[in-house]
Amino acid sequence: MPINMDNVVIGIVFTLVGVVVGTICLVLAAVLTPKLVNMLTPNINEEKEILKGNVAVARYFGGIVQAVILGISIIIAASIIAGIIG
């Protein structure tokens, strides 16, 4: 089966669009997630607690931010792979 260059170009375009959109989503998630966690926990000031050395708050806060970034990264990888495979 010969390779159709139109399909290759379309695959490359979809991959590049996925990379750009995914990168924008990842940056927005990394910026907005800490603010969202702060809004959802109004009685706790995470930044001050972390500066005071509260390890429990640091692990909780870091774990949530890490989970969101990892989830967005998996979505980005899936869109890039879908663009490559077609």
Give tens-digit pLDDT for 46-70. 888 889 999 998 898 889 889 988 9
* Mean predicted confidence (pLDDT) in 40-50: 86
Q: How many CB atoms lie within 10 A of CB 69?
A: 14
pTM of the model: 0.68
The pLDDT of residue 86 is 57
CA angle centred on 16, ends 19 and 78, rounded to 5°: 50
The pLDDT of residue 84 is 65
Q: How far apart are CA 45 and CA 52, in angstroms?
A: 11
